[in-house]
Amino acid sequence: MIKGHPQLTRNGELKHLLTVEGLPRQVVTHILDTAAQFVTPAEGGDGELGKVPLLRGKSVFNLFFENSTRTRTTFEIAAQRLSADVQNLNINASSTSKGESLLDTINNLSAMHADMFVVRHAESGAPYLIAQHCPPHVHVINAGDGRHAHPTQGLLDMYTIRHFKKDFTNLTVAIVGDILHSRVARSDIHALTTLGVPEVRAIGPRTLLPTGLEHLGVRVFHDMDEGLKGVDVVIMLRLQNERMSGALLPSAGEYFKYYGLTPARLARAKPDAIVMHPGPMNRGVEIDSAVADGPQSVILNQVTFGIAVRMAVMSIVAGHNH
């Protein structure tokens, strides 16, 4: 494998998907193009492929050390549509609570002839550790690690933007809210800049924006009305309620007053701006229901496209075995 690129083979092909950061533009575009073949007309695409036998005979293990029903379900549906055998393991309830180490768990599952691990873990870097220690024929997909990355969410967000806006090179995209704790925001920022988006904005209170965003080429705004002026895409982030009680924020109501996306605020963006949210949404905290259910919202499209994007990633990483 290329040094410093634990996810690419020597030929520059995708072996694991661990992060969007550092992925070449052509690899990202290849994933989006492949996903387009899996979005059926009923789902708003032109793809011909419904259920396909690309992963027939392969075993995909969903290893969720941290709960996420929706991400796990979309990976499961994606694997089933590729004709794979899917095993869901809710591991926080079993082996790790008995004191078994992460790598022991992986070794045991590898011995059960796993071909692919989809890993969600509260510790940043856990999928990298697994990728370094699993047998050479096994592929690892990061379904979210700590505060670090959520690459398939970043990719499905890019697919959604491309579907509605066609071209990345003339867009202004605003990411709003709790960027400090958000692995989705990190993956989105890397993906947007890789795909040539000229202006990425981060909007939020100082306490929820990490330092150094400017080094990633991001324009920082603390005023929502100012930050939304003339944008094409608004990506709202979940305010993680469990952090509400801390010193970071006064209250949910106060947050909504300054950073909630209301119809009046959205009117500052372009008239054809789209509104996205990785979910689950806190209605009345970061987004008004009138916007979430309104004509500019593409939040349900994101979920639908997420299945096709995850199918694309799984079929591409597994392609080394064909």
Q: Is 193 helix (H, G, I), strand (E, B) or coil?
A: helix
- For the record, the structure tokens of 11 come out as 């030929």
Cα 39 from Cα 310, distance rounded (Å): 11
Q: Is 173 helix (H, G, I), strand (E, B) or coil?
A: strand
The pLDDT value given to residue 118: 97
Cα 61 from Cα 109, distance rounded (Å): 8
What's the distance, Cα to Cα, between the start and end of the chain in Å?
A: 18
Please state the residue numbers annotated as binding site for L-aspartate. 98, 183, 238
- Report residue 108 CA to chain centroid gap: 28
* Cβ contact 252:285 at 8 Å: yes
Cα 235 from Cα 233, distance rounded (Å): 7
Helix and strand numbers (H, E) in the chain are 11, 9
The pLDDT value given to residue 321: 40
Q: In terms of C-beta density within 10 A (0-12 exposed, 13-18 middle, 19 or more buried), how is residue 269 classed?
A: buried
Regarding pTM above 0.85, the answer is yes
Please state the residue numbers annotated as binding site. 70-71, 98, 120, 150, 153, 183, 238, 279-280
Please state the residue numbers annotated as binding site for carbamoyl phosphate. 70-71, 120, 150, 153, 279-280
Show the 3-state SS of 3-47.
CCCCCECCCCCECCECCCCCCCHHHHHHHHHHHHHHCCHHHCCCC
CB atoms within 10 A of CB 257: 12
Pairing of strands 233-236, 274-276: parallel
Per-residue pLDDT of the chain (322 residues; tens, 9 = 90+): 334 558 998 888 999 999 999 999 999 999 999 999 999 888 888 887 778 999 999 999 999 988 788 899 999 999 999 999 999 987 765 555 555 788 888 999 999 999 999 999 988 899 999 999 999 999 999 999 988 999 999 999 999 999 999 999 999 999 999 999 899 999 999 999 999 999 999 999 998 999 999 999 999 999 999 999 999 999 999 987 665 556 667 688 889 999 999 999 999 999 999 999 999 999 999 999 999 999 999 999 999 999 999 999 999 999 844 3
Domains and CATH numbers, the chain: 25-150+303-321 (3.40.50.1370), 151-298 (3.40.50.1370)
Q: Is 164 helix (H, G, I), strand (E, B) or coil?
A: helix
Cα 82 from Cα 16, distance rounded (Å): 17
* Cβ contact 186:157 at 8 Å: no
The pLDDT value given to residue 58: 96
- Report residue 59 CA to chain centroid gap: 23
Q: In terms of C-beta density within 10 A (0-12 exposed, 13-18 middle, 19 or more buried), how is residue 321 classed?
A: exposed
Cα 121 from Cα 77, distance rounded (Å): 20
Cα 44 from Cα 302, distance rounded (Å): 11
- For the record, the structure tokens of 117 come out as 């691990």
* Cβ contact 3:22 at 8 Å: no
The pLDDT value given to residue 84: 97
- H-only helix segments in 39-120: 69-81, 102-110
The pLDDT value given to residue 245: 56
